[in-house]
Amino acid sequence: MSRFFAFFSKDLIPDVKLALTYLAHHGLRTFLTLLGMIFGVGAVIAMLAVSRGGEIEALKMIEGMGVRNLIVHDESPLDDSLADIRQHSAGLSVADAKAIADTMPFVDTWAGIRVVPVWDDLFSPQGNSSAEVWAVSPGFFQMSGLEPSLGRLFDIEDDARFAQYALLGDAAARRLFPRGDAIGQRVKINYLWVEVIGVLRDRQLTGESFQGEQVGGESDRVYIPLQTGLKRMSRNQMDSELSMLKIKIAPSQDLSAAAEAIDLILDRRHGGQDDFRMVVPAKLLAQQRQTQRIFAIVMCVVAGISLVVGGIGIMNIMLACVLERRSEIGLLRAVGARRTDVVRQFLIETTVIALLGAFLGIIAGVVIAYGVNLFSHWAVAFSLLSIVVAVIVCATIAVGFGVYPAMAASKLDPVAALQSE
């Protein structure tokens, strides 16, 4: 192996220089040869950038939902079957949450969420907004990684006395109080006036939802204490108490086992009715990876085909070069080049072509990735690794497809080669 490298590294500069002058002389031909390479490498780079971007984004989303959280959604149907279900099940409720927390030692905390139906825009003395209103347990914010940028959060006491307080998401605050200074001001939700005690910091999640689960959107939301939402806002007879239940599982506990146990309790408490749905954010990550993997395989195939086509293009052009330069090869042999020297010269040339292709391909890949980002809003992230991979793949292809023409060149009979013009 070291001999192999010594063979290449020996006095590289003049050979590389010579290779470059040949390639420059046939500029257009070289470029056309390189296209396959460029697309192949471009696809690899773009693919790696998009899947890495997706991964980072997914992790951010999962963190937004809480890696150790389980989320139970109320799935009460909207049609006539609801009446039947309600005979057996009262729907997702605070009592469910308490039962789970009491019987399952691995539950760290929980938070109930009720999405309050709003029949009109929210009003403040300064403006209005169509933000969603969520009534949430005081623990909700900490579980979801939300922090106030101004003011404070609710505490248990506020919840217990149905305090008419509100916390505003960043966007909601800007709409309701365009002139700022929201703290201490009042907002009207349906017929209820609530006092703003805090504004939440924006987490800047790019997506609204991930694998079908709502994640972002908290910025354009108004939060009130759960009990305020339950006791002071009207609720239909048939509606379940909670729209969502977030349960934080102790770090030592396996998430799927916990999800199964909780599912079992809820199933019993709901009389076997299918009116809830459990989401394990950590599992969504696996789903997301699966989707990414399919995408990656498709891109790899495209890249692979491109690279093989590119390699064949290079081989083709090198064979043409060998033919064109027969008399030159003859001369090199006459002044003392061994067969291996000729092989080396041509392999250096193919490698220079391939590295040029890799370089342009990397640029193409970056452009493609940003293009994808621009049109589909998929996140992209570049890594040094992907560039290293691209260069290595190219060099390998070059050597692989360059060997045959180089050998052909070295096997030419020097006398015959010298005579050809």
Partner 1 sequence: MAENGNSSLISVQNLCRTFQVGDMAVHALDHVTLDISQGDFVAVMGPSGSGKSTLMNILGCLDTPTSGSYRLMDQEVSDMEDGLLSNIRNRYIGFVFQSFHLLPRLTALENVLLPMRYRKQDEDVRIDRDRVREIMERLGIADRMQHHPNQLSGGQRQRVAIARALVTRPSLLLADEPTGNLDSKTSEGIMTLFDELNADNQTILIVTHEDEVARHAKRVVLMRDGKIEQQVLQQDRPSQWT
Q: Which of residues 25-44 bind partner 1 (CB under 8 A)?
A: 25
Q: Dig out the tokens for 352 from the structure.
A: 């220079």
CA distance 365 to 144: 36
Does residue number 22 form part of the binding site for partner 1 (CB under 8 A)?
yes
Q: Dig out the tokens for 325 from the structure.
A: 């330069």
**Residue with Cβ nearer partner 1 (13 or 294):** 13
Q: How far is CA 290 from CA 55, 181, 281, 293, in A?
A: 11, 46, 14, 5
Of 62, 28, 79, 69, the closest CA to residue 249 belongs to 69
**Residue with Cβ nearer partner 1 (97 or 329):** 329
Count CB-CB contacts under 10 A for residue 245.
26
Of 285, 281, 319, 340, the closest CA to residue 401 belongs to 319
CB of 303 to partner 1, least distance (A): 34
**Residue with Cβ nearer partner 1 (32 or 415):** 415
CB of 19 to partner 1, least distance (A): 10
Q: How far is CA 397 from CA 150, 184, 294, 357, in A?
A: 58, 68, 25, 11
Q: Which helix (H) or strand (E) holds 136?
A: strand 132-136
CB of 355 to partner 1, least distance (A): 20
Q: Which of residues 261-300 bind partner 1 (CB under 8 A)?
A: none
Count CB-CB contacts under 10 A for residue 169.
25
- Stretches 153-161, 193-201, 364-372, 412-420: which one binds partner 1 (CB under 8 A)? 412-420
Question: The tokens 């308490």 sit on which residue?
Answer: 98
- Stretches 108-116, 379-387, 398-406, 407-415: which one binds partner 1 (CB under 8 A)? 407-415
Q: Dig out the tokens for 38 from the structure.
A: 């460029």
CB of 331 to partner 1, least distance (A): 4
Number of chain positions touching partner 1 (CB under 8 A): 27
- Stretches 3-11, 93-101, 125-133, 215-223: which one binds partner 1 (CB under 8 A)? 3-11
Does residue number 217 form part of the binding site for partner 1 (CB under 8 A)?
no
Q: Which of residues 321-360 bind partner 1 (CB under 8 A)?
A: 327-328, 330-341
**Residue with Cβ nearer partner 1 (308 or 407):** 407
- Determine contact, residues 229/81, Cβ cutoff 8 Å: no
Which residues of 45-96 form beta strands (DSSP E)? Answer: 69-74
- Determine contact, residues 203/64, Cβ cutoff 8 Å: yes
Task: Pick the binder of partner 1 from 16, 18, 403, 408 (CB under 8 A).
Answer: 18
CB of 418 to partner 1, least distance (A): 7
CB of 21 to partner 1, least distance (A): 4
CB of 316 to partner 1, least distance (A): 22
Q: Which helix (H) or strand (E) holds 309?
A: helix 281-324
**Residue with Cβ nearer partner 1 (6 or 83):** 6
CB of 10 to partner 1, least distance (A): 5
Does residue number 14 form part of the binding site for partner 1 (CB under 8 A)?
yes
Torsions phi, psi for 106 (to 5 deg)? -85, 0
CB of 63 to partner 1, least distance (A): 57
Q: Which helix (H) or strand (E) holds 221?
A: strand 221-225
Interface residues with partner 1 (CB under 8 A)?
6, 10-11, 14, 18, 21-22, 25, 327-328, 330-341, 413-415, 418, 421
